[in-house]
Amino acid sequence: MVYIRSKKVKSDQYLYLVKSVWNSKKSTSKQEIIKYLGKASEVVKDDIPVDYRDDPKVLSVLASFNPKDIRKREDASKKSKKQLYKKLTDGNIQECVKIFEEYVKIFNTSDFFDKILKPVMYQIGEDWANNKISIATEHVASNIALTLVKIIMDKVSGSRNKEKILICVPLGEEHHLGCDVLETYLSIKGYKVYNIGTSIPTESILTFIENDKPDAVLISITIEDNLLAGQRLVKKIKDQYKIPIVIGGRAVQAEKIPKLDAQIIRDTCLEDIPKILRKL
């Protein structure tokens, strides 16, 4: 059974998606947290993992927390995604920046990346794969998205802490928007970020780790065909260094992936990344 649990902290309610797990040995059940959802007044349907998003009980509880505000936020997100899709595919960077600026008046930067930019880029990729848009349009949108991330990076800043994070991709992976988004968000949170978001030889990544000694490595894999290259990259790093490795990206959302000796993150919002890094 899956349901939403609330916890009151001072005057605010915070929501968790939890499930009951039966322990046959003790003949009792216990709660396991599936995902921390955030402040009740800010949680919308898209915050619920896909597998539970249409569960009537979950939606009923969600709607009980300030339903008018939830509807308003869902409408704002839907409108922003539609606008951003059009402006990205039109190649209009100025309007994309305006969409971001208007959105963060209500929400925040991590919400923009998680709930607007990421699903829009997924949709653009799917539309290209289904011949709904041309490869030229997909390239234009991708390049504009990269420029948008860099502009957002220039608009935000954060105090530095001691943690150094290396972000990279395996050899053959040409998609690096996810790396740029991670760089921006983690920089906001004060991390020192080294973004090697382009496909380079594995030996070059190993040399970088040896020289700069990052505290963790984040590997982004978008294309499923590059999962084996990611597996080889992880093994090479593990053979030489005792360093935490986290792998994310669209490729690891697939039902079947090769065994990866690293922490895999699926259906994880940006706000959870620093928590994962702290645990590592």
The pLDDT of residue 232 is: 95
Structure tokens at 111: 């919400």
* Topology adopted by domain 69-155: 1.10.1240
Every domain of the chain and the residues it spans: 2-45+54-64, 69-155, 164-279
Conformational region of residue 201, where left means phi above 0, alpha means psi within -120 to 50, and beta covers everything else: beta
Distance, CA of 132 to CA of 102 (rounded, Å): 28
Identify which of 129, 100, 274 has the alpha carbon closest to the alpha carbon of residue 187: 274
CB distance 242 to 210 below 8 Å: no
Q: Which residues of the chain have pLDDT under 50?
A: 159
Identify which of 52, 38, 100, 45 has the alpha carbon closest to the alpha carbon of residue 73: 45
Distance, CA of 205 to CA of 169 (rounded, Å): 9
The pLDDT of residue 268 is: 80
The single-letter code of the amino acid at 226 is N
Confirm whether pTM is higher than 0.95.
no
Token pair 């797990």 is at which residue? 21
Contacts of 252 (CB under 8 A, 6+ apart): 221, 227, 260, 264, 265, 266
Contacts of 180 (CB under 8 A, 6+ apart): 146, 149, 150, 153, 195, 197
- Tell me the residue length of the chain: 280
CATH architecture of structural domain 164-279: 3-Layer(aba) Sandwich (3.40)
CB distance 122 to 177 below 8 Å: no
